[in-house]
Amino acid sequence: MKTGQNKFVNMVKGKCPNCGKGDVFVKDKPFFTLPVMKDDCDVCNYHFDREPGYFLGAMYISYGLAVLEGIITFLICYFFFPDMETFYVALTVCASVFILSMRNYKWSRVF
């Protein structure tokens, strides 16, 4: 990896962990389909796919992100909309977790 590149920024953008230029996931997919991870980097030929079970830990990261997003959404509803009914708070939390689920999937695999 060349000096001056920020690994965290590359992870958030979904760039190759080796060169920081190639994309980890296939672009131009329909919005609500599961993202497809490339086998190799287009720029440096770094192999992304590891042995079976390598991304098992990504489930824990995805779960943690979803819980964090749910807590933040709940706190926003609690402090900024104190008169909101409990049903609508729960619906808002579920909607925010669902909307951000594809981003969580990508980030958990890259992190």
DSSP collapsed to 3 states, the chain? CCCCCCHHHHHHHCECCCCCCCECECCCCCCCCCCCECCECCCCCCECCCCCCHHHHHHHHHHHHHHHHHHHHHHHHHHHCCCCCHHHHHHHHHHHHHHCHHHHHHHHHHC
Tell me the mean pLDDT in the region 67-90: 96
* In the chain, where the domains are located: 1-49, 50-111
pLDDT of residue 17: 84
At residue 42, φ and ψ (nearest 5 deg) are: -70, -25
Q: Please, which pLDDT band fits residue 5 given cuts at 50, 70 and 90? A: low
- Whether the model clears a pTM of 0.85, i.e. scores above it, the answer is no
Structure tokens at 79: 């402090």
